Structure 1
Amino acid sequence: MSARPQRFARAPGVAQIGAFALCAALSACGGGGSSPAGADASGSAAASAPGTGSTANTGSTTPPGNTNGTVAQSSTPNVVAVTVSSTPTSTRNMLMTSVMVCVPGTTDCATIDNVQVDTGSQGLRLLASALPAGFALPAVPAGAGSDPAGACSAFGTGYTWGAVRRADVKLAGEVAASLPIQVIADPAVPAAPSGCAGLGLAMNSPATLRANGILGVGPFNADCGAGCVNTALPSWYYTCPASGCTPSVQPLAQQVSNPVANFATDNNGVVIDLPAVADSGASSISGSLIFGIGSQSNNALGSATVLRSNTGTGYVRTTTSDGSVYAQSYLDSGSNALFFSSSTLTRCGVWYCPSSPVSLGATISGTDGVSASVDLSVTNAQTLFGSGNWAFDNLAAYTSRVFGWGLPFFYGRRIFTAIEAQNTPAGPGPFFAF
């Protein structure tokens, strides 16, 4: 995608930098926020090579958290159900949940189903068409003015465009009050300006977004951060009078923000807990999105290995058994495959399609040198698609510069994503742990 400033970067998918992967139902997409792509049963590939990057913060304005490991304990219900199953767009490995949004301070609420859970981006983004008619969420102004703010979100497959509005976001017993969210394809703002529309496929409908929205619960607090506070960066925020939209600065409190970081408690990260799947895949799976780290008995780190990520980019490092080193690597539930480069694996389009399953080894390392050894398996993508299943832990695709541990890596694990500067029993985020 564009060379825009990035905070948390990933392979193709929603919220990224790098080459566009035009995600028809036939394509491979991953990394990046909620990668709204996949492949149909034919396994045909219709995408360019995965890119590198995700919508992420260009700089934090949050002061460092305390480092003594003390975390306030909570008794708030903190679990929402997540599922992977068939989708209308034949997209594999899409992790979905439901989100309730309310007009701030009221009981005028709506529950939106089929929202993708994405640990690779920040903020809630909902299609305007998924909201009830007449659902009046207040507009967020651009900068210090009174004109409505437009938000452009770049992903590996294209972009979302819409208005910034405030909503009370309710998940289990947690509430992010008056949170700035993006309402995609909101008719209240003019058409996407060229700086946004030039980012590829307009993912402004259920068919192109492949979901009703994206729940970004990644390692940062806001989608752009300090960079947008100080500079009117192209393809981020816009001031949108009726005459058209122009780039604008945007105060942090008016940026699309991570709901979890705005909870009263259980606000230092998330745990995604998914069951293992067979080598042939599963027709559906059910798991949990748990809020907080070390704040309740159900989100304790236990013996998980903590891999600290770069505070500016969110990256960790991956070294594969063939000696390849990927300084840009990430764990991302919004990628529907494992993304990496291999000169030996047979490809069918962007997918890997070896004649028989291939086992590989890798080491994931944090910025402090702590590492974890992991094994992965790659099975012929066309064989997997032909099975009629929807959840796979051995689906992989090509990308040239990063190693993306997408949703296949999450099966059979409890994976923690800690938010920047928020304290946990292992110290402040950002980090991943499993």
Structure 2
Amino acid sequence: MKTPFHLHPLLLICTSLAGCGGGGGSSPATPTQASPASAASAPADAAPASSPSGTSVAGTSTSVPQSTTPNVQPITVSTAPGLTRNMLTTSVTVCQPGTGHCATIDNIQVDTGSHGLRILASALPASLPLAAVATVATVASGSGIAGECAVFGGGYAWGSVRSADVRMAGQLAASLPIQLIADSALPNVPTDCAGSGPAMLTVNSLRANGILGVGLFAADCGSGCVNAALPRWYYSCDAGGACLASAQALAQQVTNPVSRFALDNNGVVIDLPAIADGGAASVSGSMIFGIGTQANNTLGSAAVIKANQQTGYVRTTSAGQTYSQSYVDSGSNGLFFASTQFPQCGYWYCPSSTQTASAAMMGIDGASSTVSVAVGNSRALFASSNNAFNNLAGIASNSFGWGLPFFFGRRVYTAIASRVTSAGPGPFYAF
């Protein structure tokens, strides 16, 4: 088994025609069941990231509990910090567990490439303190607080693990472990975490107020962190702020909120409208909770691409090359792949006019679906005043990232591992 590390969907920032730099949003991954994400300040290749749900569903049952609970969460792409393009966001309501004492936090990135809710401490009102979650070590000692290092391709997010009721679209994830990034209760970043890259501890560096990870797995680390104190994951921190790596029980790991809903808890559908090749100033759409649980989230004729149950990866073949590390990720602001067909401008492709390429996404069962990929002139796109693009593409060598441009004009399903759906248990993507 490789030493686990966290990933962060590729979110490159262009503030001028020529200048691109790193940073962006998403969340950690895991040792045993890594879910994908992408790379970073300069596009690095994707590597595994997330983890198992902890609740397994037997066999290939397709009997899905039906729900009449409201399940549609508004999502949008509009202006984001640092002139970040293709930043998909929503609002999340966070409450002290079991109370009506709540705050709604705007500009939370929606990320199908990660798992769990992470919010900047600066975005949470001081009048809404959240109880600390303990680690295995702090439970044994009777004091202390759990810290977590979320390492992304563009840097790291350090913070505490706190308990909150999370509410979206009439749904409740009660007493959910979340990460509070840059929590003043844990001012000292562990050396191995700080050595992971630039700090992503502010709105300007994170490019959002937080990250909502609604990917293929429920827990962000899984059994690997249950069984061992892994570096750059969970930490046991004492009252003085000193932190040591620690194991973390599954129930106390940062968790995909959707997996903790009473119903509509087997995945999400991202539904965004089609946009013109020149882009759009803003785009509004829906994140629909559940797959096959209500009339508005049925799979219909969607192609189902089953992901690896350990890594979350699918395969993509394009231009004669097969990428075994391929992922579908709303937290990546472009499509990322290797090509000699298109001229390059920095980290991005920039053909003189919009071009097309063909790519086939394939599941572990051999089922595949071929998609036509549009590639625009990145310089022209970044020079416009638009914020949403369906043809923004960048460079990666050993992975293929189906980032946010893939989501425009189609319904994209992300099914959580082991959860029952009408197409069998996750993990899978469908579109």
Superposed pair shares fold, TM > 0.5: yes
- What corresponds to 1:18 in structure 2? none
Residues 114, 34 of structure 1: alpha-carbon distance in 2 compared, 3 angstrom cutoff: farther
2:344 paired with 1:341: no
Question: What displacement does 1:34 show?
Answer: 6.4
Question: What displacement does 1:147 show?
Answer: 1.5
| In structure 2, distance between residues paired with 1:267 and 1:222 | 14
2:319 paired with 1:325: no
Higher mean displacement: 284-293 or 190-199: 190-199
Correspondent of 2:44 among 40, 44, 50? 50
- What corresponds to 2:408 in structure 1? 411
| In structure 1, distance between residues paired with 2:21 and 2:48 | 16
| In structure 2, distance between residues paired with 1:358 and 1:32 | 28
2:194 paired with 1:200: no
Residues 176, 66 of structure 1: alpha-carbon distance in 2 compared, 3 angstrom cutoff: farther
Q: Is the 8 A contact 2:14 2:20 kept in 1?
A: yes
| In structure 1, distance between residues paired with 2:23 and 2:55 | 29
Q: Is the 8 A contact 1:6 1:56 kept in 2?
A: no
SS at match of 2:225: helix
| In structure 1, distance between residues paired with 2:8 and 2:102 | 33
| In structure 1, distance between residues paired with 2:174 and 2:201 | 25
Correspondent of 1:380 among 377, 381, 386? 377
Q: Is the 8 A contact 1:169 1:259 kept in 2?
A: yes
In structure 1, stretches of 5+ residues that fail to align are 14-20, 36-45
Higher mean displacement: 46-55 or 117-126: 46-55
User: Partner amino acid for 1:72?
Assistant: P
2:139 paired with 1:142: no
Deviations 1:39-85 (A, max 9, x none): xxxxxxx942333136422x564334452200101111001100001
Correspondent of 1:261 among 259, 262, 279? 259
| In structure 2, distance between residues paired with 1:336 and 1:77 | 29
Deviations 1:288-341 (A, max 9, x none): 000000000000000101000000110000001x20110110100000000011
| In structure 2, distance between residues paired with 1:243 and 1:328 | 38
Residues 426, 215 of structure 1: alpha-carbon distance in 2 compared, 3 angstrom cutoff: same
User: Partner amino acid for 1:312?
Assistant: Q
Number of paired residues? 411
Correspondent of 1:92 among 55, 75, 85? 85
Q: Is the 8 A contact 1:181 1:256 kept in 2?
A: yes
User: Partner amino acid for 1:88?
Assistant: P
Question: What displacement does 1:358 show?
Answer: 1.7
Correspondent of 1:395 among 369, 392, 396? 392
- What corresponds to 1:315 in structure 2? 313
What TM-score do you get using the length of structure 2 for normalisation? Answer: 0.91
Deviations 1:366-421 (A, max 9, x none): 00000001001111100011121110010001011100000000000000000000
Question: What displacement does 1:28 show?
Answer: 6.0
SS at match of 2:422: coil
| In structure 2, distance between residues paired with 1:280 and 1:355 | 13
SS at match of 2:311: coil
- What corresponds to 2:365 in structure 1? 368
Aligned residue runs from structure 1 range 65-80, under 5 A = 65-80=58-73
Residues 71, 6 of structure 1: alpha-carbon distance in 2 compared, 3 angstrom cutoff: farther
- What corresponds to 1:215 in structure 2? 212
Q: Is the 8 A contact 1:28 1:351 kept in 2?
A: no
User: Partner amino acid for 2:300?
Assistant: G
Aligned residue runs from structure 1 range 106-145, under 5 A = 106-143=99-136, 144-145=139-140
User: Partner amino acid for 1:352?
Assistant: Y
Question: What displacement does 1:361 show?
Answer: 0.5
What TM-score do you get using the length of structure 1 for normalisation? Answer: 0.91
2:298 paired with 1:300: yes
Question: What displacement does 1:4 show?
Answer: 4.2
- What corresponds to 1:43 in structure 2? none
- What corresponds to 1:16 in structure 2? none
SS at match of 1:96: strand
Residues 65, 32 of structure 1: alpha-carbon distance in 2 compared, 3 angstrom cutoff: farther
2:276 paired with 1:283: no
SS at match of 2:117: strand
SS at match of 2:83: coil
User: Partner amino acid for 1:385?
Assistant: F
| In structure 2, distance between residues paired with 1:65 and 1:208 | 42
Question: What displacement does 1:345 show?
Answer: 1.8
| In structure 1, distance between residues paired with 2:9 and 2:48 | 8
SS at match of 1:325: strand
2:157 paired with 1:160: yes
Question: What displacement does 1:11 show?
Answer: 5.4
Q: Is the 8 A contact 1:341 1:399 kept in 2?
A: yes
SS at match of 2:308: coil
2:96 paired with 1:103: yes
| In structure 2, distance between residues paired with 1:11 and 1:258 | 16
Q: Is the 8 A contact 1:50 1:399 kept in 2?
A: yes
Question: Percent identity between the aligned chains?
Answer: 57
- What corresponds to 1:188 in structure 2? 185
Deviations 1:330-370 (A, max 9, x none): 10000000001113321111011122222100110000000
| In structure 2, distance between residues paired with 1:375 and 1:351 | 18
2:61 paired with 1:62: no
Q: Is the 8 A contact 1:101 1:110 kept in 2?
A: yes
Q: Is the 8 A contact 1:361 1:373 kept in 2?
A: yes
Question: What displacement does 1:195 show?
Answer: 1.2
| In structure 1, distance between residues paired with 2:24 and 2:79 | 20
SS at match of 2:20: coil
Question: What displacement does 1:24 show?
Answer: 7.5
- What corresponds to 1:227 in structure 2? 224
